[in-house]
């Protein structure tokens, strides 16, 4: 799992570009629960993305990764709401923007690549029309200009025979093709940040690899930042500059790719990594009792305490602070794993 | 090509469908107690006279034979005569069916004009004044009997204000009706250039159309609101919002996706109102098809009833064919 040393140098380079593009400070998102205190889906999350950086956000279902991705666009899934913290994009607090300002931001400066493109594209409109809708909303193009740009975008995402596909309806596309269409829409206005929300999870492995390559090439080609939300930690090893691991609404570890993969500190990170390991004993040790509930035992305490194989008494009563272990490498654990 | 094959297949089934509908209604009408011969000859008829008339009408034969004879006549284009009007049913219906169609079509057009905008407005806003209006409207329209509402309108606009014509049919007696071409007084008046008749017919249409339109906007509003609301919460609308599309574009796309449900409810209402408008027709002495059929049932006048059933069935089949074509146009997945 060791990577080339020049990658970390690249990360330092992008970090030196000054202010981060996106900065999330103490973000807390809650879902009201019937007859109970609301449960935070995101708990005091600090997170940032530099310009041109590709960051992987890894977590299992229900960990809050989609909520985080959508909170960036100020579109928390109903009935959730942002109860604390700020999302700064180029220094602007997105929480203070009005609906029309947000509308101008979405799709133009921050765009989203979704996971179920055939279900999320409008079934009654052609591909060209749906790309056109976005261009019409965010650019001064019209008529022939929109069509030309749509064709250009389809070509950029390597869709064969774009002149034919531009008139296709979503149900006529394969999963991989639909995914490319959604990428074309995401890139239509040359955004500064692209958020990919588990975008490749529904695809065959070979198609997935193609789409990922394409996504990274396009993003790096335009100097766009990419937040790559996924369940598959293996993908982040190949495609990301930096990796963050989210568990039960908290980022438990984050760091530059090489530092993270060479020396993961949080037991949960190791659990995720060991799921891919060949060594049966290693896997059995770190996975522990997988039948244990993912929910935390009580309000205080480490969110991972219930499932952690290294849990101590202290973990159950005190939520660990974020600690730095190396340049840009943070973890939240009382008893971090030493090498 | 696909479409033509589809229409061909549909038309293939029309004949057996119509036969089935006719058979069932024939049997049902025969089940109603009452002897047409007695009704026609009155209380002072002799047994001989009754027997003779029954033989003439074919009532002495078995019910299946009677049905066979009726079907053979229908195939020749003869729907029999109504003993009440002493006219052939075809010519009676040629006059009455368009009267009902004109009324129902205009009413549903009005219902769409009210129901869709209000429904969309209701779906767009989870709260606010428009949502309240939409909610109360749906409640009110669903709970008002149409004939009572018709009487209220007549009382206000004819009796009190005197701005509406008397509820006595489709035209004033002094107006010379245009030559019937389509049967719709509006269209025929335009064809004949008879502007006096056009104005008068339109005036007579106002109150019944208002009645049926306002009442039937209720279900259309409810359907529009609930489906559009569901579409606005669906994945593609959320994605459209993520793309920063303007609100009106998001709503427009949601409405387009809601259209099949709206088309369905309109087609159901249309088929229903052909017979269901009868109470309103009676209130306005409209002389429509529903009124004609009800008179037939009450007086054991079999031919008008069966003629009405046949016409309505054909109309329903045509409507459903049109609905399928509309689905075809709206939704590419059905192509």
Cβ of A169 and B333 within 8 Å? yes
For residues B184-210, one letter each, b for 16 or more C-beta atoms within 10 angstroms of the residue's C-beta and e for the rest, the string is bbbbbbbebebeebbebbeebbebbbb
Instruction: State chain B's mean pLDDT as an integer.
Output: 89
Q: Residue A175 in contact with residue A207, Cβ under 8 Å?
A: yes
User: B243 to chain A: nearest residue by CA?
Assistant: A107
The distance of B237 to chain A (nearest Cα, Å) reads 8
Cβ of B243 and A106 within 8 Å? yes
Q: Give residue for tokens 């027709």.
A: B281
What percent of chain A stands above pLDDT 70? 89
- In angstroms, the CA B116 to CA A338 distance is 66
Cβ of B245 and A114 within 8 Å? no
Q: How many degrees, rounded to 5, is the angle at CA A70 between CA A65 and CA A75?
A: 145
Nearest to B244 among A107, A121, A169 (CB): A107
- In angstroms, the CA A76 to CA B216 distance is 38
Q: Which CATH architecture has domain B97-299?
A: Orthogonal Bundle (1.10)
Higher pLDDT, B262 or A199: B262
- In angstroms, the CA A198 to CA A246 distance is 14
Interface of B with A (CB under 8 A): 233, 235-236, 238-247, 249, 253, 256-257, 330-333
Give chain A positions within 8 Å (CB) of B256: 124
Judged against a pLDDT cut of 60, whether residue A2 lies above it is answered with no
Average pLDDT, stretch B285-310?
Answer: 89
Judged against a pLDDT cut of 70, whether residue B331 lies above it is answered with yes
User: A114 to chain B: nearest residue by CA?
Assistant: B239
Residues 6+ apart with CB under 8 A from A27: A42, A44, A45, A46, A47, A68, A71, A82, A84, A85, A86, A87
For chain B, give every domain's residue range.
97-299
Cβ of B238 and A111 within 8 Å? no
Q: How confident is the model at residue A18 (pLDDT cuts 50, 70, 90)?
A: low
Cβ of A120 and B243 within 8 Å? no
Angle between helices B302-330 and B2-12 (to 10 degrees): 160
Nearest to A120 among B239, B256, B257 (CB): B239
Q: A104-108, A204-208, B249-253, B282-286 — which is least confidently predicted?
A: A204-208
Residue in B124, B229, B230, B239 to test binding to A, most A beta-carbons within 10 Å = B239
Cβ of B240 and A122 within 8 Å? yes
User: A78 to chain B: nearest residue by CA?
Assistant: B233
Q: How confident is the model at residue B108 (pLDDT cuts 50, 70, 90)?
A: very high
Nearest to B330 among A70, A121, A124 (CB): A124
Instruction: Give A66-78 pLDDT, tens digit per residue.
Output: 899 999 999 888 7
Average pLDDT, stretch B257-278?
Answer: 92
Q: How confident is the model at residue B118 (pLDDT cuts 50, 70, 90)?
A: very high
Q: How confident is the model at residue B198 (pLDDT cuts 50, 70, 90)?
A: very high
Cβ of B243 and A116 within 8 Å? no
Instruction: Tell me whether strands A225-230 and A193-197 are parallel, antiparallel or unpaired.
Output: parallel
Q: Which fold has domain A22-109+189-331?
A: Rossmann fold (3.40.50)
Tokens of B192: 């004949």
Cβ of B244 and A104 within 8 Å? yes
Q: Residue A229 in contact with residue A66, Cβ under 8 Å?
A: yes
Q: How confident is the model at residue A204 (pLDDT cuts 50, 70, 90)?
A: confident
Closest CA to B332 of A41, A328, A32, A122: A122
Give chain A positions within 8 Å (CB) of B330: 124
Confidence at residue B200, expressed as pLDDT on a 0 to 100 scale: 92
Judged against a pLDDT cut of 70, whether residue A5 lies above it is answered with no
The distance of B115 to chain A (nearest Cα, Å) reads 23
Cβ of A137 and B253 within 8 Å? no
Give chain B positions within 8 Å (CB) of A75: 238, 241-242
Confidence at residue A36, expressed as pLDDT on a 0 to 100 scale: 67
Judged against a pLDDT cut of 50, whether residue A296 lies above it is answered with no
Q: What is the ipTM of this complex?
A: 0.84
């Amino acid at each position: 799992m060791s990577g080339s040393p020049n990658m970390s140098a690249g990360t330092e380079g992008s970090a030196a570009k000054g202010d981060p593009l996106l900065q999330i400070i103490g973000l807390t998102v809650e879902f009201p629960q019937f007859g109970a205190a609301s449960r935070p889906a995101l708990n005091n999350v600090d997170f940032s993305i530099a310009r041109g950086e590709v960051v992987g956000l890894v977590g299992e279902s229900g960990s809050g990764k989609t909520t985080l991705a959508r909170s960036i666009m100020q579109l928390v899934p109903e009935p959730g709401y942002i109860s604390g913290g700020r999302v700064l994009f180029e220094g602007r607090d997105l929480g203070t923007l009005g609906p029309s300002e947000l509308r101008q931001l979405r799709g133009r400066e921050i765009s989203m690549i979704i996971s179920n493109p055939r279900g999320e594209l409008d079934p009654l409109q052609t591909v060209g029309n749906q790309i056109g809708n976005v261009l019409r909303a965010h650019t001064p193009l019209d008529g022939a200009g929109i069509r030309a740009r749509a064709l250009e975008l389809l070509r950029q995402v390597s869709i064969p025979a774009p002149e034919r596909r531009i008139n296709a309806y979503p149900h006529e596309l394969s999963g991989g093709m639909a995914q490319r269409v959604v990428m074309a829409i995401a890139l239509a206005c040359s955004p500064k940040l692209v958020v990919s929300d588990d975008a490749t999870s529904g695809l065959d492995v070979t198609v997935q690899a193609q789409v990922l390559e394409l996504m990274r090439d396009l993003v790096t080609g335009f100097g766009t930042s990419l937040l790559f939300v996924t369940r598959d930690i293996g993908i982040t090893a190949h495609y990301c500059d930096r990796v963050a691991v989210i568990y039960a609404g908290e980022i438990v570890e984050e760091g530059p790719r090489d530092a993270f993969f060479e020396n993961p500190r949080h037991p949960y990170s190791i659990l995720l990594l060991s799921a891919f390991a060949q060594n049966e004993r290693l896997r059995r040790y770190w996975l522990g009792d997988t039948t244990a509930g993912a929910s935390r035992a009580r309000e205080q305490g480490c969110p991972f305490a219930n499932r952690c194989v290294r849990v101590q008494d202290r973990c159950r009563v005190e939520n660990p602070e974020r600690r730095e272990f190396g340049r840009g490498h943070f973890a939240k654990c009382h008893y971090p794993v030493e090498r | 090509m696909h479409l033509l094959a589809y229409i061909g297949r549909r038309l293939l089934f029309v004949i057996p469908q119509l036969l089935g509908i006719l058979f069932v209604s024939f049997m049902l009408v025969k089940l109603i107690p009452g002897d047409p011969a007695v009704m026609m000859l009155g209380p002072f008829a002799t047994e001989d006279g009754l027997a003779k008339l029954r033989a003439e009408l074919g009532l002495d034969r078995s019910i299946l034979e009677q049905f066979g004879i009726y079907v053979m006549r229908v195939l020749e284009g003869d729907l029999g005569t109504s003993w009440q009007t002493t006219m052939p049913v075809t010519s009676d219906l040629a006059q009455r069916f368009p009267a009902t169609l004109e009324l129902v079509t205009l009413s549903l057009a009005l219902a769409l004009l009210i129901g869709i905008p209000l429904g969309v407005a209701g779906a767009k806003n989870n709260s606010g004044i428009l949502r309240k209006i939409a909610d109360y409207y749906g409640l009110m329209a669903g709970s008002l009997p149409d004939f009572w509402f018709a009487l209220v309108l007549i009382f206000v606009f004819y009796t009190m204000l005197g701005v509406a014509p008397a509820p006595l049919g489709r035209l004033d007696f002094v107006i010379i009706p245009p030559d019937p071409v389509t049967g719709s007084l509006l269209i025929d008046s335009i064809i004949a250039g008879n502007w006096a008749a056009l104005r008068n017919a339109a005036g007579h249409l106002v109150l019944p159309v208002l009645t049926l339109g306002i009442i039937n906007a209720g279900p259309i509003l409810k359907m529009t609101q609930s489906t559009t609301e569901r579409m606005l919460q669906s994945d593609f609308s959320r994605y459209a919002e993520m793309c920063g599309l303007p609100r009106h574009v998001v709503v427009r796309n949601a409405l387009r996706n809601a259209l099949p449900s709206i088309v369905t409810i309109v087609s159901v209402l249309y088929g229903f109102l052909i017979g269901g408008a009868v109470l309103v027709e009676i209130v306005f002495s409209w002389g429509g098809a529903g009124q004609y059929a009800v008179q037939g049932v009450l007086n054991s006048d079999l031919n008008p009833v069966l003629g009405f059933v046949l016409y309505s069935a054909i109309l329903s089949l045509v409507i459903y064919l049109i609905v399928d074509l509309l689905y075809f146009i709206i939704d590419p997945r059905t192509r």
